[in-house]
Structure 1
Amino acid sequence: MKKLIYLLFFSFLTSCSSFSEYSKETKKGFDEEDRTMVSNEAANLKTITFGDFKFATSQKEFRKLNKQKPQFKEILFYAKTTDVPYEYYVLHNPKEVIKNESFTYKDTIIGNSRFVIAVSKNAPRQDSEFIKKMVLSLR
């Protein structure tokens, strides 16, 4: 009986995800200037970013890129580069954002959705500004 309780408790813990229900619909591609474009039709969002990023749209993909626990909830996607090591998160309609001192933030409204972009402070200033600026409406 104890084993069953531990098994149920463990499966409950691992089933909790920091990712938004819309994250599965996130797609990656390229724009006309051959920059990486990340879009999500359901969230009405597209972003332009640099080509050296690896992306996660699920807890499983996140664990492959980062051994730590996600810093936020309601993650639409997570991006990480090792060229100049830094990371960023795009959050979709977060109920609450507990500000971590290791990140800079941009809060924006597109349509009826709130997006928070959290870029690690070790990102080059120009990269951080570009990432935050290139969060756009899909329509």
Structure 2
Amino acid sequence: MRVLLFLLVLSFISCTPFSKYSKFNKTQNCYEAYVCISNNSLQLKYQSFGGFKFANDKKAYKNLQKGKKSPFKNIIMYGWSNNLNGDYYLLLDNERHPENYQYKDTIIQNRKITIALSNSVTYKTNTDFLLNFKLNK
């Protein structure tokens, strides 16, 4: 009985919407107002605007979202911008599609990677830029 209770508690504690690959994310400033995000384990390279705050784990996500639950699972990275009044997710093997997001998928090394960009980011130049993938070379 104690073992079952321990396993149940452990499953709730370790439950996270973030992918096991999110811990391999690296961010660095590139160019003037941009941030380059890479994840070598997924062969992913992504460029974002510099005004975003990022989360790679559940704790950082809760701090940015004030405790709100994520609408997605298998999050590689989460970005939120007060300047653009919106957010986006980089997702691995996404199967959820809430209506308040727009999506772009790509396949990298037989894995589906999705960008989910909130519809509150409306300026076309911004959405086109944020829905763009780059592969590591």
Alignment TM class, shorter chain as reference: 0.7 to 0.9
Name the residue aligned to 2:82. 82
- For residue 57 of structure 1, what is the amino acid of its counterpart? N
Say whether 1:18 aligns with 2:17.
yes
Q: 1:127 corresponds to which residue? A: 126
Q: Distance in 2 between matches of 1:72 and 1:62?
A: 12
- Determine the C-alpha separation between the residues in 2 that align with 1:98 and 1:114: 13
SS at match of 1:20: coil
Q: Which runs of 5+ in 1 are unaligned?
A: none
Deviations 1:95-138 (A, max 9, x none): x52210010000111232211100000002321210112x1111
- Residue 91 of structure 2 corresponds to 91
Paired residues of 2:33 and 2:49 also in contact (CA < 8 A): no
2:115 corresponds to? 117
Count matched residues: 134
Matched, 1:55 2:48: no
Q: 2:102 — aligned with what?
A: 104
Task: Give unpaired runs (5+ residues) of structure 2.
Answer: none
1:28 to 1:102, Cα distance in 2 relative to 1, 3 A: same
One-letter amino acid matched to 1:129: D
Secondary structure of the residue aligned to 1:68 is: coil
Match of 1:31 in 2: 30
Structure 1 pair 84/35, CA: closer, same or farther in 2 (3 Å)?
closer
The AA in structure 1 aligned to 2:55 is A
TM-aligned CA deviation for residue 59 of structure 1: 0.6
SS at match of 2:131: helix
How far apart are 1:10 and its partner, in Å? 4.7
Whether 2:69 is the aligned partner of 1:69: answer yes
How far apart are 1:11 and its partner, in Å?
4.4
TM-score normalised by L of structure 2? 0.87
Q: Output the TM-score relative to the length of structure 1.
A: 0.86
Give 1:8 deviation, angstroms: 6.2
